[in-house]
Structure 1
Amino acid sequence: MTRTDERVLALDLGTSSARALVLSGDDASPIPGALARHKIAPTYGPDGSATLALHEYVEGLLGCLDELQQNGHLENIGAIVLSSQWHSIVALDNKGAALTPVITWADTRSVDLAPSVDERAFHARTGAWLHRLYWTRRIPWLLATGSPAEFAGLPDLVLERLTGERVTSVSIASGTGTLDLATGMYDDEALDIAGVRADRLPSIVPTGWTGSLSTEYARRWPGLVGVPVHPPTGDGAASNVGTGGYDAGTAAVTVGTSAAVRVVHPIDDAPELPWELWRYRVDDKRAVTGMAFSAAGNLHAWLTGVLRLEADELAGAEIGASRAIAIPFMAGTRPPATVPSGSGVFFGLSFDDTAADLLAASLLGASLEVDRGLRMLDSLFGRKLDVVLGGGGIDASEWWRRCLTATFARPTTVCAEAEVGARGAAAVALGLSPSPGGEHLTPVDAEVKRVAAMRPRYEALRELAVQASQQRA
């Protein structure tokens, strides 16, 4: 653990940006002005590809460190931590050189599997499904389209670039869908399905492992010589911890490009995993169970752009008052559901509806989707969970914060820090317990009643949308 007078350098490996920022050593709060960002432009193709240029990504991240160095922020650093997107994969040759760009979670290319395995038992053991999101389907596809020798994810290759060691954490490995959650080791059946041995994947190191910067980077950033580099934490797990949602009585709802509701809990004696939920690892002792949603901040950004709305357009809108109902399947659904992208629907439109009504209906639809996951987690953990809200979407919209609170029909706490991923990675690595520290919201009875009254109609129309999408597919 760092001394409280030392600072933490956090590297945040996102899909739309790579960032480096400096945090305080006592509560992992960002140091004002000590942030550098490299914007990322994913490449999308008509074949379903969604990739990142590996060299450009890594060089952009290193440039962020150069910027912090030039501004005097790489002094008195006691630890280097990483938060990273889950699910990415890169095919490598026998010398460790990349044969492919970074294939992201949004990429739809893979092989179809018809393995003779008990998928429900597989899901209970790995927390994942045999879905294209995971390496069990990505690796066979990559093997069929080339001759890779090894495979790694983006955070594994960033860590190797910095330290010279290609290793992964139990948290990142769990997001590949090939980890036995109970043992923290690669799952034999998952490896058989993928068609590889464990030695073709990065070695899994314990949470307490640390590396150090290679000689090249020690010369480039002399203030980081000897500073321990901790293994990366998956962004979903890091975001939960960073919001203050790190116990089994608290659900963290985070809204960024996508959204998720999750609960962190001990891996030992974990409740049996329902088919509809996923489970990954936070660290050696904790797991995170939850549900993710493909329409969130991206939905808000799309609609405000298309409808040319101002940021405060919803300031006076009543929650649940619009007749319009939106089923937010614009980007489809996450597994195990099979709704494809392009399935978003509006019901009940009339000529007196405004652009604000359409936005309000869409954000309420997204809130109801998150509420589905929250209610499953309530049932799983046997209580009405406390709720913490965090992420850029939460920070950007006061109306959406109130909408979620009314939809959940319970008080919520808003995390005061926007940098929840970096903050959580520092907390996991250094054993910190950050507090949300933000405002407390109480649901308004009239809003709760309006949302509850329209919920049955929403559920019925949602089922129609699901059926229609399956017919189209």
Structure 2
Amino acid sequence: MQRTDADAGGSGGGRILALDLGTSSTRALVLSADASPVPGALARHKIGALYGAAGEATLDLHDYIEGLLGCLDELQQNGHLADITAIVLSSQWHSIVALDNNGAALTPVIPWVDTRTVGLDLGSSFDERAFHARTGAWLHRLYWTRRIPWLRSITSPAGFAGLPDLVLERLTGERVTSVSVASGTGTLNLADGGYDDEALAVAGVKAEQLPPIVPTGWTGALSSVYARRWPGLVGVPIHPPTGDGAASNVGSGGYDASTAAVTVGTSAAVRVVHPIEDAPELPWGLWRYRVDDQRAVTGMAFSAAGNLHAWLTGVLNLESPEPTGVEIGSSNVIAIPFHAGTRPPDTVPGGSGVYFGLSFDDSAADLLAASLQGASLEIDRGLRMLDDLFGRPLEVVLGGGGIDASAWWRRCLTATFDRPTDVCAEPEVGARGAAAVALGLTPSPGGEHLEPVAAEVERVRALRPRYETLRALAVQASTETSNW
């Protein structure tokens, strides 16, 4: 079943079931009609990725989907699946699964953290800058233009799909994808919303081997095999998934070109949602994906954020997640947060994190403060590029688990950006954003408002030149080391 009229699947004042397909967990939660979480209506299934010495990082597809279905069972058992009038999905971008002739999985789910790849020889006539401007992506292992040739080198696939496509197929019986999810594959022509001919040629695949792209107004319905399992969901419209970055922006309150949303979860990103029509020319250092049929999201991502915070608090055995007693911008230690490498177009490999200026006077709190400051300065690099792109200093909203975990980090980001920030009070920004995209909602941050403190701003400003010099040295050293 599918409907493509603009009004299909509106919440109609009822409740919304949101499925959030993350890398470390999958969650099902119930939202009110305004996309606020219903207290207690949350079920979570933890995901354990399998890692290997050769760069492997895989997710078990069967375990993932069965875990998600188990979350729905839990909500059902607790009486939370009544009065549901819409089902929405937020999903990790970039994942891929190779499929056989019958559509069965030949491989586990390959998420963005997997580093295995093969080289591409496209000749001197290939213009990667024009390719990037058209697709919003680079020829990097994150994207299907590199993933598919690598998968062909290890198996004999007949087709390919992403994790959200296969979840949607399990629920509805239809294997389709959204323009948002397709944009994260690096094979989408951003302007027309269809697969890009050159990207398909680079990947060595035909469009019919990939899931068809459905319009934003498309809805599916729950397969009849689940009618007895979740009777309250029968006939409820299921909306196409939204990529988690786009969903997080909208869910934080950053849904137009006046506002940059800074999301700090396991990794971090700074992004701006804007109309796809007459979009500003994309700089080489930023990516661009789609939110829906009318909007794009442009930004920069960073591999070290909440994962860095969690690692350091564990390694140092800190009782508090805060660098207690350390003033923002005051630490003599400079941390270059390349522990997990960098995202494209930079090519710094994982294991390149550096601490400069250590002395016997430094405490665990100094190291934590330096790490959070380094991550803040990295995010600020992306924010400044977006300021330039959109021709003005952007308003900023902060959201995500890392933001929620540390008041010191919120203040540090505000001082580093040297502008006021608003904090999103809702931690489930992806689920909230998926509901907002599907149903046309415009949520507000709803949290605290922070003003930059002049003394903190000055200390960070004085710190910045030293940080940039040492960052350049770290990039050079990591490049030289990778060539040994």
TM-score, normalised relative to structure 2? 0.97
2:231 aligned with 1:222: yes
Distance change >3 Å, CA 3–CA 183, structure 1 → 2: closer
Q: 1:343 aligns with which of 327, 342, 352?
A: 352
2:316 aligned with 1:307: yes
Residue 208 of structure 1 aligns with which residue? 217
Q: Deviations over 1:229-255 (max 9, x none)?
A: 000000000000000000101000000
| Matches of 1:415 and 1:182, distance apart in 2 | 31
Q: Which runs of 5+ in 2 are unaligned?
A: 1-8
| Matches of 1:282 and 1:156, distance apart in 2 | 16
Q: CA deviation at 1:146?
A: 1.2
Residue 95 of structure 2 aligns with which residue? 88
Letter paired with 1:462: R
Q: 1:251 aligns with which of 253, 260, 264?
A: 260
| Matches of 1:341 and 1:97, distance apart in 2 | 33
Q: 1:20 aligns with which of 24, 28, 44?
A: 28
| Matches of 1:425 and 1:131, distance apart in 2 | 27
| Matches of 2:324 and 2:449, distance apart in 1 | 19
Letter paired with 2:80: H
Q: Deviations over 1:240-296 (max 9, x none)?
A: 000000010100000000000000000000000000000000000000000000000
Q: CA deviation at 1:143?
A: 1.2
Q: 1:113 aligns with which of 83, 100, 120?
A: 120
Q: 2:295 aligns with which of 265, 271, 286?
A: 286
Q: Deviations over 1:20-60 (max 9, x none)?
A: 000011x2010000000000000001111111000000000
CA contact (8 A) 1:248 1:264 kept: yes
Q: CA deviation at 1:141?
A: 1.1
Distance change >3 Å, CA 48–CA 457, structure 1 → 2: same
Residue 179 of structure 1 aligns with which residue? 188
Q: 1:2 aligns with which of 1, 10, 13?
A: 10
Q: 1:369 aligns with which of 378, 389, 405?
A: 378
Q: CA deviation at 1:298?
A: 0.2
Q: CA deviation at 1:198?
A: 0.2
Q: CA deviation at 1:5?
A: 3.2
| Matches of 1:363 and 1:188, distance apart in 2 | 42
Q: CA deviation at 1:93?
A: 0.3
Q: CA deviation at 1:412?
A: 0.1
Residue 51 of structure 2 aligns with which residue? 44
CA contact (8 A) 1:92 1:98 kept: yes
Question: Equivalent pairs: percent with the same residue?
Answer: 81
Q: CA deviation at 1:119?
A: 0.2
Residue 425 of structure 1 aligns with which residue? 434
Q: 2:369 aligns with which of 360, 365, 388?
A: 360
**Secondary structure at 2:307's aligned position in 1?**
helix
CA contact (8 A) 2:324 2:365 kept: no
**Secondary structure at 2:283's aligned position in 1?**
coil
| Matches of 2:334 and 2:12, distance apart in 1 | 50
2:132 aligned with 1:123: yes
Query: For 1:145-164, what aligned pairs fall within 5 Å after superposition?
Result: 145-164=154-173
Residue 378 of structure 1 aligns with which residue? 387
Letter paired with 1:9: L
Q: CA deviation at 1:315?
A: 3.7
Q: 2:36 aligns with which of 29, 33, 39?
A: 29
Residue 53 of structure 1 aligns with which residue? 60
| Matches of 1:294 and 1:311, distance apart in 2 | 23
| Matches of 2:476 and 2:132, distance apart in 1 | 25
Aligned residues: 472
Consecutive aligned runs of 4 or more in structure 1 exceeding 4 Å deviation: none
| Matches of 1:42 and 1:421, distance apart in 2 | 21
CA contact (8 A) 1:4 1:24 kept: no
**Secondary structure at 1:209's aligned position in 2?**
coil
TM-score, normalised relative to structure 1? 0.99
2:176 aligned with 1:167: yes
Q: CA deviation at 1:316?
A: 3.2
Q: CA deviation at 1:312?
A: 4.6
| Matches of 1:345 and 1:61, distance apart in 2 | 38
Letter paired with 1:272: E
CA contact (8 A) 2:98 2:158 kept: yes
Residue 298 of structure 1 aligns with which residue? 307
**Secondary structure at 2:339's aligned position in 1?**
coil
Q: Which runs of 5+ in 1 are unaligned?
A: none
| Matches of 2:323 and 2:358, distance apart in 1 | 18
